[in-house]
Amino acid sequence: MKTAALVSLAPLHTFGLDTKAQRLLAISDLSQLHALNDKPYYILGEGSNTIFLEDYEGSVLQVKLSGIEVQQHEHHFDVSVAAGENWHALVQKLMSAKIFGAENLALIPGTVGAAPIQNIGAYGVELADLCHSVQAIDLQTGEKLSFTNSECLFGYRDSVFKRQEMSESLITAVVLRFPKGRPVSAEYGELKLLGPDPSPYDIFNKVVEVRQHKLPDPRVLGNAGSFFKNPVIANEHYLLLKDSWPDIPGFRVGGEQTKVPAAWLIDRLGFKGKTIGGVACHANQPLVLVNKGNGTSADLLGLARQIRDDVLAEFAIELENEVRLVGEKGLLRL
């Protein structure tokens, strides 16, 4: 286990705010967890969905577990992946091995271990559609835990792993199941342009192309991806909004709710390109807030709260942050 004291967190999260942690612990082997006695701690993968707003008073536990194991069965593949593996690199390896089903989730940043926490999703597919089980360990007792798909309680950008009782559990591996001959999912967004019978490779290439065009590279311009969740509202609320905003897009969720793109709401209010200090709404995708290099926590919170408040005032919709915001003692509310 590699350790370092009083560590800058700027290079450890993709938004890149200049904050620090008391200690960094890099875990590459489960046996190292027996020596863990630092509290409090924050579990971190690649920092692509976390923004450290303040100096963190505890230890940051960086997951570096690695390894991929593929088991082929008559009708499906089971792929067990260690939590520290990069998600997009995994998707690339699956495509090379002709194991299809994850292509819609190409180029999503972060680690495999972070994927079930957020129930990552894009272009009509979520991690919940692929996940067979999740392996974890209780950092206090050392007990090994296993969660079936249903026990993960997956929801929209949500899972059981976000709950307080799971805050001291570390995801160690995720088992993904891919049925052979599974039909592709090409009914969402730009994928419709691929025609009537796209291949998994067509979908993979289109998703990568679109994401590279729309979303800034965090290595060039600091960001944590989509800052807000797409809100889900009652159908009646959506129909009322459509009277005033006929072009407002919406996607039915179940029978009684509609998901509205947060980017549309933010863009309609003129936030695209808006800047406060060193933080701005990205010019191509206003759902992404970017650090222009000198951004501060105050800049970020000022812009994010202005967006949230203006959307609430205009559309009676309360946006929730998708990004995890971390303060001195742990997670913060926007």
The reply to whether 76 and 59 lie within a common domain is no
> Which residue, of 210, 242, 274, is where some domain finishes?
210
The reply to whether 10 and 55 lie within a common domain is yes
| pLDDT (0 to 100) of residue 78 | 98
pLDDT-wise least confident of 19-28, 30-39, 224-233, 316-325:
30-39
- Tally the domains of the chain: 3
The reply to whether 237 and 197 lie within a common domain is no
The reply to whether 47 and 134 lie within a common domain is no
Q: Is 157 a catalytic residue?
A: yes
> Which residue, of 34, 63, 92, is where some domain finishes?
63
List, for residues 261-304, the tens digit of each pLDDT value. 999 999 999 999 999 999 999 999 999 999 999 999 999 999 99
Q: Which of 157, 177, 308, 324 is catalytic?
A: 157
The band of 1, judged by pLDDT with boundaries at 50, 70 and 90, is low
> Which residue, of 46, 63, 80, is where some domain finishes?
63
List the domain range (segments joined by +) for residue 118: 68-210
The reply to whether 285 and 165 lie within a common domain is no
The reply to whether 189 and 248 lie within a common domain is no
Q: Is 305 a catalytic residue?
A: no
The reply to whether 142 and 184 lie within a common domain is yes
The reply to whether 122 and 251 lie within a common domain is no
The reply to whether 188 and 223 lie within a common domain is no
List, for residues 105-163, the tens digit of each pLDDT value. 999 999 999 999 999 999 999 999 999 999 999 988 889 999 999 999 999 999 999 99
Q: Which of 226, 297, 308, 324 is catalytic?
A: 226
The reply to whether 185 and 75 lie within a common domain is yes
Among 1, 24, 22, residue whose Cα is nearest residue 12? 24
Q: How far apart are CA 187 and CA 287, in angstroms?
A: 22
* Domain CATH number, residue 77: 3.30.465.10
Whole-structure pTM value:
0.89
Q: Is 46 a catalytic residue?
A: no
The band of 168, judged by pLDDT with boundaries at 50, 70 and 90, is confident
